[in-house]
Structure 1
Amino acid sequence: MPGDYCGSGASVAVACRREEHGPGGGRVPENADAATGAGAGVNRGARRVQAVYFTLLTGNTLAASFIWGVNTLFLLDAGLSNLEAFAANAFFSLGMLIFEVPTGVVADTLGRRVSYLLGTVTLAATTVLYYLLWVVEGPFWAWAVVSVLLGLGFTFFSGAVEAWLVDALTATGYRGDLERVFGRGLAVSGAAMFVGSLAGGALAQLTNLGVPFLVRAGILVVMFVVAALVMRDLGFTPEGRAHPIRATKEVVRASLKYGLGVRSVRYVMFASFFTSGVGFYVFYALQPYLVELWGDAGAYSIAGLAAAILSGSQVIGGWMAPWVRNRFRKRTTTIILSLVVSTGVLVALGLTRSFWVALVLLVVWGLVDAAAGPVQQAYLNDMIPSRQRATVLSFDSLLGSSGGAVIQPVLGRSADLWGYPGSLVLSGAFQVLAVPFLWLSRRQQAPADVSAGGALDAPTDAAVPDGPLP
């Protein structure tokens, strides 16, 4: 970033970037560490940015995870069938599908901070509405409407926080691996998820299934205040607001150009339709499935255990991500292998009738997914320009949400017909369909596929659009 930039607010969020001449005549960030030693590539400004990022992740995940362990049981307790419960989740995905692009435009025009603040307010309000529907045992159509609005709340987060991190790291002169930051973020959010899931399940056991939702709303209000104090849009200048319609068209056009217009990016997005769709279903189906294997329908803490196990696996897997990345020359090798292993685990989960074997398989599933997740994040980010990063990432989430909207009701109906074991086997069949798309992305030979860190600026040559879509 040329010139000076000094943020304001709490110290953890302030990254003041002023450039000075280095000994070789070049210009380096004032706060950069020495070029040698263990701290190379990580400076004080970058550490502050990461601290804010980890704080936001912790708050978001803690709030969300309070209900993750009991959400499906909550819907079933409200009188919904398996099909209706997962259809409600599908309407949540539909909400994300509808609002991904508009909220991505908000992040790219009004700023990532504004997008985050809107997300906390929207989610807090709709979470309270969810609780009220449970109290009155509302009709399915009401659950569908509120679920769509919940999707709106989450789309304000998707892409925006990740884009904020990458832009801010660039502005502060960070030269380390993105996988390392994303991996630590995954570990931090996993720890928050572990605490939230266990606490939510235990709280539901001690009180009722509605109380965790009220706690979630309260945490989101706290995060609104925290973000308002510490979050600043470093390294990014929002688009002008004089002509919002024109600005929206320009951002969307550029996002199509650098998203679906780039083959290597496009195929990763297509794969997310299957992986995200299956992931949505499996995460929530594991709650009643583990309770079923345990043999006590009122054991809400067992449902919370499923989310807690995944969170613990996420912590370990997040720390493993840089190590896993270094085992293979190409990022896509890690991504494809993890997907194949994950598919096998889903099939095994559907075939076992042992609670303890299911727990072990759940740990493996969580580890594999968590270790590969930061690698895929870094791969995608390295192929997207900064100015369009939030919206292109929102496009990726959009396709994942569309997968959730389509796949969840199908798998929910299969659970009504064949039970949760049959639906988990079918989940594996859906997920393996993502492999050909990831292989096609690999064949494009994008430089980001073999990237090993470095400057976080504009994408490589592989991100040049390759002509009209087929």
Structure 2
Amino acid sequence: MQAVYFTLLIGNTLAASFIWGINTLFLLDAGLTNLEAFAANSFFSIGMVVFEVPTGVVADTLGRRVSYLLGTVTLAVTTVLYYLLWVWHSPFWAWALVSVLLGLGFTFFSGAVEAWLVDALTATGYTGSLEQVFGRGVSVAGVAMLGGSTLGGVVAQATDLGVPFLMRAGVLVLMFAVAALLMRDLGFTPVDRGHPITATKHVLVASVKYGLGRPGVRYMMLASAFTTGVGFYVFYALQPYLLELWGDEGAYSIAGLAAGIVAGSQIIGGLVAPWLRRRFRKRTTSVMLAVGVSAGILVVLGVNRSFWVALALLVLWALIDAAAGPVRQAYLNDMIPSSQRATVLSFDSLIGSTGAAAIQPVLGRSADVWGYPFSLALSGLVQAIAVPFVWLSRRSGEAADVATVTGEAAEPGEPAATDAATDAAPDGPGASPGT
């Protein structure tokens, strides 16, 4: 199952990353302002907010495999539409509409693939840590992102900004065939919730009960509204920011290289995740430190004027986020029952997308008025708001904060299985050099 999961990750990330290094440049080249470009990204997030629950119904009723297949088809079609909008220099309303539909495509993936993996691992008797699997997944995705984003930037410079979007659509079609052949729902029994409207109501109730209704999950989700919103903005704002520092706005390969550096940092960060988990007794310690430190890095990026220093800070920022990401994933999954896993993970994505929809236009407008450096520093201050929410999740005393094995979600206060290394690890930033 892990091999299939990694295959899906490679395909999805490769397809998506072809345009990650040049997406903002693509939108600006189509005639949009910074405000409009990041507003288009915001409409993508709005699409995810609107469709997360309905597509969660698909994943929990028709199955995770069906949800994935629908996602590949939807994304392939909407990616081609995005390309056509660029060719036609379409008005902003058209970009907003297609961006919403792109969000629909991604909601078929969010929650479903991760839930499919965890259910399959449990069904096949896996007893290792989730951090190890998710960490490897981050590294595998980082390899695909490194190749895809760098290639996308090089191809854009050699041809034009639209070709990477066509490449993306082609790989998505290929991934539809791969998933149809390899992906099978294991350890999951579809839930018959009746009429779609009734099913959606049940999903919302489950999301509230197992998501917002559980303190540990609730506060971690609320934190994601700030971290996800800032993460979306920073990743895409770095493209024009680095070109500005480099001094050549047509050097698209530099923008692709920037995304490739983030990918390389993810490869290392994913491998570091299990090690990071052992440095602290509680998972929330790692997450809280990562959020705080990366926020500080963004503030420093905002006052920096050196291209090479910016690259170094970018590596550090991506490395920290990549290492803490699998820890957060494992923490959430250990708090969620299998039958509601896709639903609650989708709801987590919904909260993050809500934050992204609200935050990106504001930061984009700040870039129009005061420049990219100011907007990056402001991003760091916004992300810092997430730290108290992670601390509140920690204070809830969830067993999953120290759990290290897969399985059904434990109730708050129940003992969780831990290994000797975890029990012995000090709970604080002075655990070892570099932490």
Q: For the superposition of Structure 1 and Structure 2, which TM-score range results when normalised by the shorter chain?
A: over 0.9
The residue number in structure 1 matching 2:409 is 459
The residue number in structure 1 matching 2:25 is 73
The residue number in structure 2 matching 1:121 is 73
- Offset of 1:243 from its aligned partner? 4.1
CA pair 279-56 structure 1, distance change in 2 beyond 3 A = same
Listed as ranges, the gaps of 5+ residues in structure 1 are: 1-48, 465-470
CA pair 463-144 structure 1, distance change in 2 beyond 3 A = farther
Q: Distance in 2 between matches of 1:397 and 1:243?
A: 24
- Cα deviation 1:251-277 (Å, max 9, x = unaligned): 331221111110110000100000000
Contact 2:56–2:203 (8 Å) recurs in 1? no
* Corresponding pairs, count: 414
CA pair 433-274 structure 1, distance change in 2 beyond 3 A = same
Match for 1:160 among 112, 121, 136?
A: 112
The residue number in structure 1 matching 2:432 is none
Q: Does 1:236 align with 2:188?
A: yes
Q: Distance in 2 between matches of 1:457 and 1:324?
A: 21
Q: Distance in 2 between matches of 1:292 and 1:242?
A: 54
Contact 2:399–2:413 (8 Å) recurs in 1? no
Contact 1:93–1:151 (8 Å) recurs in 2? yes
Q: Secondary structure at the match of 1:68?
A: coil
Q: Distance in 1 between matches of 2:234 and 2:393?
A: 25
Q: Distance in 2 between matches of 1:256 and 1:387?
A: 14
Q: Which moved more, 1:232-241 or 1:355-364?
A: 232-241
Q: Distance in 2 between matches of 1:255 and 1:418?
A: 40
The residue number in structure 1 matching 2:170 is 218
Q: Does 1:304 align with 2:256?
A: yes
The residue number in structure 1 matching 2:431 is none
Contact 2:53–2:203 (8 Å) recurs in 1? no
Q: Secondary structure at the match of 2:192?
A: coil
The residue number in structure 2 matching 1:264 is 216
- Cα deviation 1:115-154 (Å, max 9, x = unaligned): 0000000000000000000001000000000000000000
- Offset of 1:187 from its aligned partner? 0.2
The residue number in structure 2 matching 1:63 is 15
Identity of matched residues, %:
75
Q: What residue identity is the alignment partner of 2:35?
A: L
Match for 1:384 among 328, 336, 358?
A: 336
Q: Secondary structure at the match of 1:461?
A: coil
Match for 1:170 among 117, 122, 133?
A: 122
Contact 1:384–1:463 (8 Å) recurs in 2? no
The residue number in structure 1 matching 2:143 is 191
Q: Which moved more, 1:304-313 or 1:236-245?
A: 236-245
**1:28-47 to 2 correspondences below 5 Å:** none
Q: Does 1:343 align with 2:295?
A: yes
Q: Distance in 1 between matches of 2:38 and 2:196?
A: 37
- Offset of 1:241 from its aligned partner? 6.5
- Cα deviation 1:415-440 (Å, max 9, x = unaligned): 00110000000000100000111110
- Offset of 1:248 from its aligned partner? 3.4
Match for 2:57 among 84, 94, 105?
A: 105
Structure 1 runs (4+) greater than 6 angstroms displaced: none
Q: Secondary structure at the match of 1:99?
A: helix
Q: Distance in 2 between matches of 1:109 and 1:291?
A: 46
CA pair 463-181 structure 1, distance change in 2 beyond 3 A = farther
- Offset of 1:457 from its aligned partner? 2.5
Q: Distance in 1 between matches of 2:83 and 2:413?
A: 44
Q: Does 1:293 align with 2:245?
A: yes
Match for 2:100 among 126, 148, 152?
A: 148
Contact 1:93–1:405 (8 Å) recurs in 2? yes
The residue number in structure 2 matching 1:202 is 154
Q: Secondary structure at the match of 1:67?
A: coil
The residue number in structure 1 matching 2:419 is none
What is the RMSD computed on CA atoms of the aligned residues?
1.1
CA pair 301-463 structure 1, distance change in 2 beyond 3 A = farther
Listed as ranges, the gaps of 5+ residues in structure 2 are: 415-435
The residue number in structure 2 matching 1:18 is none
Contact 2:134–2:329 (8 Å) recurs in 1? yes
Match for 1:366 among 296, 302, 318?
A: 318
Contact 1:67–1:212 (8 Å) recurs in 2? yes
Contact 1:58–1:192 (8 Å) recurs in 2? yes
Q: Distance in 2 between matches of 1:321 and 1:93?
A: 27
- Offset of 1:445 from its aligned partner? 0.8
Q: Distance in 2 between matches of 1:97 and 1:244?
A: 18
- Offset of 1:239 from its aligned partner? 1.5
- Offset of 1:305 from its aligned partner? 1.0
The residue number in structure 1 matching 2:86 is 134
Q: Distance in 2 between matches of 1:85 and 1:389?
A: 33
Contact 2:55–2:67 (8 Å) recurs in 1? yes
Contact 2:302–2:375 (8 Å) recurs in 1? yes
Q: Does 1:94 align with 2:46?
A: yes
Between Structure 1 and Structure 2, whose CA radius of gyration is higher? 1
Contact 1:70–1:303 (8 Å) recurs in 2? yes
- Offset of 1:112 from its aligned partner? 0.3
Contact 1:105–1:252 (8 Å) recurs in 2? no
- Cα deviation 1:214-267 (Å, max 9, x = unaligned): 000000000000000000010001113654443333333122111111011000
